[in-house]
Structure 1
Amino acid sequence: MFKFLVYIGFIMNFIAASAQERIQIQSDFSFEETSERLTQTLGEKNIKIFAVIDHHAEASTAGLTLLPTRLIIFGSPKVGTLLMQEQQSIGLDLPLKMLITEDVHGRVWLTYIPVVQLQQSYALSPSAVIENIGKLQQLLAQKATKNNGL
């Protein structure tokens, strides 16, 4: 019985940790407007957009259907390099990404992995760089999704 309870505790911790790996925010705006607001804010902050991947459009070219899904990949080589100097393998998760989706009910969502999760995954030291990236992620998400977007 004790082993069973330990196993259940392990599973519950795993589920809780998995749920914390990403942040998902419902947008007050349409899919296109949310995407536009995010790219506009990135431009205002002089943050480079490396790529925009329209999964919906790519699915269509393959003859498949997919609800609106767009991945925006962005960052600053100056900032990202600082993280990679400490742990080069973080390059697997850089540049940063935000995913915009629309569900079957017409709700629009913005999802991202907070930099603190990357810090923990790659055992990076706490730093002002990590803190500033986290604040930037929150700001971008707020401006993209909320009518009172700061």
Structure 2
Amino acid sequence: MLERLSPLGVEETVRLIRDAVTETGVTVFATIDHAAGARSVGVDMPESTVLVVGNPAAGAPPMLDAPNLALDLPTRVLVRQASPGAVGSSVVLSDPRALARRHGLRDEQVEALGQIVSVIDRALEQVSTR
């Protein structure tokens, strides 16, 4: 797993990531608000949202070589409230290198899967330097 920190709250970080990935042609397939789901059954849970994002042009070719990769794609990006006492939120997603090892992908396929990580890193760097 890769984890990044955002100085922004969960809602703002989700919006930042959604905007950043869609600007690069990546699709946001779903947004899952786990905290809202928990509240609906009377459970109090820290803010926790998952974005399901992907680019079929990057994900489909490696799935031809490794069909089970479909279990890990599209990429799920967890944005959760930072640890108690910390400011902001945490952004967590699977490491493309770990996916590559698990599914026996080639280097260029890892690079394609890692593009989403790069987009998220650039977005978080921009907000951290404001």
TM range (shorter): 0.7 to 0.9
Map 1:55-134 to 2 at 5 A.
55-102=34-81, 103-107=83-87, 108-127=89-108, 129-134=109-114
Task: Number of aligned residue pairs: give it.
Answer: 127
1:41 pairs with 4, 20, 44, which one?
20
- Runs ≥4 residues deviating over 3 A: none
| SS of residue matched to 1:57 | helix
Q: RMSD of aligned C-alpha atoms?
A: 1.8
Q: Go from structure 1 to structure 2 and tell me whether the alpha carbon gap of 1:88 and 1:79 turns closer, same or farther (over 3 Å shift).
A: same
Instruction: State the TM-score, normalizing by the size of structure 1.
Output: 0.77
Identity across aligned pairs (percent)? 20
Distance, in Å, in 2 between the alignment partners of 1:28 and 1:52 is: 21
Map 1:13-28 to 2 at 5 A.
22-28=1-7
Residues 59 and 113 of structure 2 are in contact (CA less than 8 Å); yes or no, is this contact kept in structure 1? no
Any unmatched runs of 5+ in structure 2?
Answer: none
| SS of residue matched to 2:91 | strand
